[in-house]
Amino acid sequence: MSSDEHDSLLHRISTLERLLQDNIQSTREALTRDAYRHAAPTSSSSSPGFPAPQTATHQGRLIFSDTGHVRYVPRYNTMDEMIQDSPDYATSPESTQSTGFPFSFSSGTTKAQILQLFPPFSYCDELKNIFMDVFSPLFHILHDPTFQAQYDTFRQNPHEVSLPLLALILVVLAIAVTALDDDHHLMFDLGWQPKAGTNARSIAKRFRVSAMQALAADNFLCRHNLNTVQALVLLIYASSHANEPSWSLLGATLNIAVAIGCHVDPSKYNVSVIEAEERRRCWAALMMLYTIQDTCMGNLSPMHIQADIRPPTDVDDDALAQLRSPQELDSWASASPSKMAYILHKFQLYRLASEICTLGASSEWTEVLALALDSKIAAEGKIQENR
Q: Alpha carbon of 146 to those of 80, 204, 208, 236, 380: distances in Å?
A: 35, 24, 22, 22, 33
User: Quick check: helix, strand or coil at residue 63?
Assistant: strand
Phi, psi (degrees; rounded to nearest 5) at 221: -70, -20
Domain presence at residue 176:
yes
Q: What digits encode the pLDDT tens for the residues 179-188?
A: 999 889 998 8
Would you give the DSSP letter of residue 102? S
Domain presence at residue 167:
yes
Residues 6 or more apart in contact with residue 150 via CB below 8 angstroms = 161, 165, 168, 227
Domain that holds residue 218: 105-260
Query: What's the CA gap between 380 and 89, in Å, rounded?
Result: 47
List residues bridging with 61 in a β-sheet.
73
Contact in structure between 316 and 339 (CB atoms under 8 Å) = yes
Q: What digits encode the pLDDT tens for the residues 73-126?
A: 876 544 444 444 444 434 455 544 444 444 444 547 899 999 999 999 999 999
Predicted local distance difference test score (pLDDT) of residue 86:
42
Domain presence at residue 236:
yes
Domain presence at residue 290:
no
Domain presence at residue 253:
yes
Domain presence at residue 31:
no
List residues bridging with 70 in a β-sheet.
64
Domain presence at residue 230:
yes
Domain presence at residue 32:
no
Query: What's the CA gap between 28 and 45, in Å, rounded?
Result: 30
User: Quick check: helix, strand or coil at residue 167?
Assistant: helix
Counting the structural domains of the chain, the total is: 1
Q: Percentage of residues in the chain with pLDDT exceeding 90?
A: 35
Q: What digits encode the pLDDT tens for the residues 299-345?
A: 644 456 667 788 888 888 888 878 877 667 666 666 677 888 888 88
pTM over 0.95: no
Query: What's the CA gap between 38 and 307, in Å, rounded?
Result: 12
